[in-house]
A and B are shown apart, each in its own frame.
Chain A
């Protein structure tokens, strides 16, 4: 959560810099917005499917927590499942559900179109994401995240599977419904799935997106960047530090890209992303075969 807040503050500072204000003022922007939303009333919408609509934001936060659950923080893991990598992918699908709940539940045309967009986007990024996740698992010979971290004691996976790492980072932005992948809440839809949300409902969604970005960064660190491996500092500190750095890099990168409309994204995801992910997987598999 702290990582998510730091990321939000960093992004606020960058935005402020872009609009010609003092970046320091931007650091506090997320705090201002949180306070504003805590003071704002929730709305009661006509004909809305209230449980679904109100549950969407909470679902995003829960998904982020579930995802972090399998990531080792140094030597300590909340739940080191034997199928940790599959778990991460399953949680990502939970995000689809949350996006759809937000869009469908509001009984609003703009929110519904936003939900459609997020699902269309998911179809584009999901397969590249799956194969990008498979590469470190194949290399480590295990689906347990702890084993994957241990397998990187000699050499971080990012060194010999950079394509998988890059794809995974792009997919982290995608399942955070954020940055260039936020067409479903874009300005052309008056906020899309966010269009009808106010007060604490809105706060949950915004916080959930940042939490997912933080969780995704933590997963990237465990799978590709050697987890807590590093000199001097204890393992947990390295995990945190790397997560912060990955998140900062993602925030900077995301600001450089325009919105990727789902119709354009499908082309990239299936004609570029998927072949690249498979080629990388082939290379990794051959290396593993050669070793054994």
Chain B
């Protein structure tokens, strides 16, 4: 099962298969410039970002990773079906060679066969060994039913019995809001999850697709982080909302985010076609504002009243629903003189208040609400400087640690 190893698949099949690899990114909070550079170069090469470990060929970390995130990355790495490759990028300058390394790895049949045969059995006979050290972490999409734990091990047993299939405890039932008996599932969103603020972890209790309980925390923040331009951050927020809503404008928003980022990078002479960025951003804003279907689809979602905003310590511009915040983000992105926030202090309060904004909402709304708020963990900055910050790239161009993964 699952270990069908075609020895020496035809070269053309391999070549075709490697035209568009899918990759997952796990970035240490505060490594945003590296991550953005990675996403941009990958998009230029036609690579596609995966939604879940199951569809990914490559795991690319923007590190070095620490603590909870490192453990989560291990779990995710175990879930890549293979052929698989893993590299670490530690600065924007190292991206190109890392992607090249990924391709070499994926094309190396001997390595992939060895990797496949030496991997741990995917179906542990007893969940109580080898995987328990990874309990509690790990991202999302590996949802072993009851614990947001992983299908390939790494269940968090939470003191439950092991009576179910594969030794996983069966979900227990509970009355949902309509008085129906529904299974209660505990699922962890983040830290490894597409279209999700970096460094945020929200553990939710689900009944069906309604969140009945939630806890949120930030991962430990990196010191000496890379500073991201406010317009780029706003554009990324808008792109995430659009992607979650399934809007056709999402691709354009990502493209403009990358173009904005290129413009802020020190010494990046944009030799390509000169594009009128501000004009394009204004055009995107106008198209999104005009879209009736998008308005209908996002109307009334994640509606925050003034008192909730105040209590959560969120910026005043965050009131209204997801659609309002989408427009606000795009406005900020299109504003040539947008000033960077001088402090990220509000985020800790916002994360504390987050559960109260999510409980009782449906999962799609939860995802859109989170994406529309500025909850990124940006790392610990030295005391705030004044005035707009141009967000120059971290000049410390380190060598790439592209480790062979045994």
Contacts and interface: CB of A to CB of B under 8 A. Distances in A.
A41 B22 CA distance: 14
B145 A198 contact: no
A159 interface: no
A144 to B, nearest CB: 38
Interface residues of A, number: 60
Interface string A173-217: 000000010110011111100111111001000000000000000
Interface string B371-398: 0000000000000000000000000000
B54 A195 contact: yes
A195 B255 contact: no
10 contacts: A18-B248, A25-B46, A46-B168, A47-B164, A47-B165, A112-B143, A112-B185, A188-B195, A190-B51, A264-B296
B99 to A, nearest CB: 16
A263 B245 CA distance: 14
Nearest to A33: B20
B34 interface: no
B190 to A, nearest CB: 11
A187 B248 CA distance: 13
A263 B296 CA distance: 12
Contact of A46 (B124, B206, B368): B124
Contact of A190 (B82, B153, B193, B208): B193
B97 interface: no
Contacts of B297: 258-261, 264
A116 B51 contact: no
Given A196-B52, A258-B246, A36 B17 contact: yes
B81 A199 contact: yes
Contacts of A108: 141-145, 151
A106 B52 CA distance: 14
Interface of B: 1-4, 6, 9, 13-14, 16-22, 43, 46, 51-52, 54-55, 57, 79, 81-83, 116, 122-124, 127, 140-145, 148, 150-153, 155, 164-168, 185, 187, 193-195, 206, 208-209, 243-248, 251-252, 254-255, 291, 293-294, 296-297, 362-364, 367-368
Nearest to B5: A41
Interface of A: 15, 18-21, 25, 28-29, 31-33, 35-36, 38-49, 106-113, 116-117, 180, 182-183, 186-191, 194-199, 202, 255-261, 263-264
A46 B151 contact: yes
Interface of B: prevailing SS:
loop
A47 B17 contact: no
Contacts of A32: 16-17, 19-20
A187 B244 contact: yes
A41 B141 contact: no
A15 to B, nearest CB: 7
B314 to A, nearest CB: 21
Given A21-B46, A36-B57, A258-B293, A45 B152 contact: yes
Given A108-B142, A186-B364, A196-B151, 18 more contacts: A18-B252, A20-B251, A29-B20, A39-B17, A39-B83, A40-B83, A106-B151, A107-B168, A109-B185, A110-B140, A113-B206, A113-B208, A186-B244, A190-B51, A190-B52, A191-B51, A198-B54, A198-B81
A191 B367 CA distance: 13
Contact of B141 (A20, A25, A195): A195
A98 B193 CA distance: 26
Given A258-B247, A259-B245, A43 B51 contact: no
B39 to A, nearest CB: 12
B55 A191 contact: yes
Contacts of A31: 16
A110 B186 CA distance: 11
Nearest to A17: B251
B2 A44 contact: yes
B1 A44 contact: yes
Contacts of B187: 109-110
Contacts of A116: 208-209
B94 to A, nearest CB: 24
Residue of B6, B142, B168, B367 with most partner-chain A CB within 10 A: B142
